[in-house]
Structure 1
Amino acid sequence: MAEREVDRSVSQTVKAQLALRDQILSGSLRPGERISELQAVETTGASRTPVRMALVRLEEEGLLEAIPSGGFMVKAFSERDISDSIELRGTLEGLAARFAAERGVSARELEPLKECSAAIDELLRQVPISVDAFSSYVTLNARFHALLTELSRSPPLIRQIDRASALPFASPSGFVMAQSALPEAQQILIIGQEHHRVVIDAIENREGARAEAIMREHARLAVRNLRLALRNRTHLDLLPALALIKTATDQG
């Protein structure tokens, strides 16, 4: 009975966390807006203890900031904050690629990565790429990065990559949907897919330094997407969370 209660509490915490995160990233909660426990209980339908834990977890993720007088506030982020988070993820993914290359990966282990890359190739044959195709790309790209990380065979590194990817806007596809409305979109995806091919080749040929370098460069493509998205805020419907990011102009 006690175990069932613990499982139920954890499940409620996760549901509350996901619901509140969605409210923040969808723009329903604005930067600087205060969230109280009671308000979160009402909007999520969870009880107070799971909601309290969910709010703490979102603070740990960096989406909320605790207020000394009680409650939490939705955080705003600088462009530099996001760039640093993406750079951190790229550094860790580069290390994962180097481990995979240096430790050796069998043809059978590499096959799912190649299949994922081939599926992305199929999407990119569309001209122009539809919004639905961009959505499919997000799923495939996340799978590619997850498969690559697993090839490192390093549980401590995998945990750190998961933590880095959970930082606000730092995931591999964080700005893809906002990018979908831009004229440069297809070219950026083509460059990213070429990075995917190169890292597969580097791992296959056990070229650790090359594999590491390309994944670090690949993350910098996400920084380029960030800058494009911030310069073209006319499509906030595709990524409302852009409203959480303050540019140098906003801060000036």
Structure 2
Amino acid sequence: MNLQETVLMQLRDLILRGTFEPGQRLAEQQLAERLGASRTPVRSALVTLEQEGLIEASDTGKYLVRQFTPREVADAIAVRGHLEGMAARLVAEHGVSRQLQGDLQACLEAGDRLLADNPLTLESYAAYAGMNDRFHALILDACGNRALQRAVALNDKLPFAPASAMLPMQGTVALDRDWMLYAHRQHHMLFDALKRGEGTRAQNLAVEHTEVAQMNMRLALERRAESEQVLPAIRLVVG
């Protein structure tokens, strides 16, 4: 298991939960101690988070948490859905090569194995995120439209827009695993549509697939709001 992937997922989850305030500095050593990791995977994860638009570098090179709104995230996810829908349609219309079919099948089988764990572990989440990224990247790479690929790359710089950025985290409710199982069934259905050359169906499935990300976002924000209501009450009691 790639330690960077687990660290990345943990940091992304902490930002979404509101653990860090907008504008707060993220120091490598403190994060490494908090996550029980070395500074190397933390440093690599911070670079990725900057690319995803969750944090930004200050003039002095320090990483700061970026301000983002639920609307900004929802819009970015919606745009990704339509772009990936177009990519899926193009792949279905062009035909799926034997190499692509084998690569996508390997992703699906890996996802099936990972989701067999119940409950899912942090390592399972991280490994599934890697598989999910590869599945989406394979379709995008095979679409043959460079302008579309550049548009996706640009959109991925917005908060929580990339394919795996909104996967739920370990320790959340069982409903999260149900949504992941549902999302992976959509992967299977999309693969079937691609093989059959059903462009319209593949496009619609890819667009619908992002609703899982939208749902995860809504659930995460609901939990964040609940925790923000509980913490002041705890402080009041303790104080």
| Shared fold, TM over 0.5 | yes
* Structure 1 length-normalised TM: 0.66
Residue 112 of structure 1 pairs with residue 106 of structure 2: no
CA displacement 1:158-193 (0-9 Å, x = unmatched): 121122122111111112243652221211011100
Q: Tell me the number of residue pairs that the alignment of Structure 1 and Structure 2 aligns.
A: 196
1:40-119 to 2 correspondences below 5 Å: 61=53, 63-64=55-56, 74-119=65-110
Q: What residue is the counterpart of 2:218 in the other structure? A: 227
Shift of the 197–206 alpha-carbon distance from structure 1 to 2, 3 Å rule, reads same
Q: What pairs up with 1:171-186 in 2 under 5 angstroms?
A: 171-178=162-169, 181-186=172-177
Q: Against the structure 1 CA distance between its residues 62 and 131, is the aligned structure 2 distance closer, same or farther, given a 3 Å change threshold?
A: closer
Q: Which amino acid aligns with 1:189?
A: M
Indicate conservation of the 8 Å contact 2:52/2:159, yes or no: no
Counterpart contact for 1:95–1:212, Cα < 8 Å: yes
User: What is the CA RMSD across the aligned residues, in angstroms?
Assistant: 3.7
Q: Identical aligned pairs, as a percentage?
A: 32
Separation in structure 2 between the aligned mates of residue 65 and residue 25 of structure 1, nearest angstrom: 16
1:182-232: CA deviation from partner (whole Å, max 9, x where unpaired): 221211011100110111111111111100101111111101001111112
Q: Distance in 2 between matches of 1:28 and 1:205?
A: 46
**What are the superposed Cα offsets for residues 94-152 of structure 1, whole Å, 9 maximum, x if unpaired?**
01000100111223322101111110001111122222111111111111111111121
Matched, 1:163 2:151: no
In 2, the alpha carbon distance for the partners of 1:130 and 1:221 equals 20
Q: Is the 8 A contact 1:34 1:73 kept in 2?
A: yes
Going from structure 1 to structure 2, the CA distance change for 1:161 and 1:122 (only over 3 Å counts) comes to same
Paired with 2:22 and 2:105, the residues of 1 have a C-alpha distance of 41
Does residue 136 of the first structure (1) align with residue 127 of the second (2)? yes
1:172-251 to 2 correspondence within 5 Å? 172-178=163-169, 181-233=172-224
Measured in 2, the distance between the counterparts of 1:60 and 1:224 equals 19
Query: Aligned-pair distance for 1:30?
Result: 3.0
Distance 1:144 1:112 in 2: 8
Asked whether the equivalents of residues 134 and 180 of structure 1 are also in contact (C-alpha less than 8 Å), the reply is no
Find the aligned partners of 1:59 and 1:134 in 2 and give their Cα distance: 21
Cα distance in 2 for partners of 1:111, 1:163 equals: 28
Q: Following the alignment from structure 1 to structure 2, what is the Cα–Cα distance between the partners of residues 168 and 204?
A: 32
User: What secondary structure, in the 3-state scheme, does the structure 2 residue paired with 1:175 have?
Assistant: coil
Q: Residues of 1 paired with 2:79 and 2:190: CA distance?
A: 18
- Maintained 8 Å contact 1:31/1:75: yes
Change (3 A) 1:61 1:125: closer
User: Normalization by structure 2: what TM-score?
Assistant: 0.69
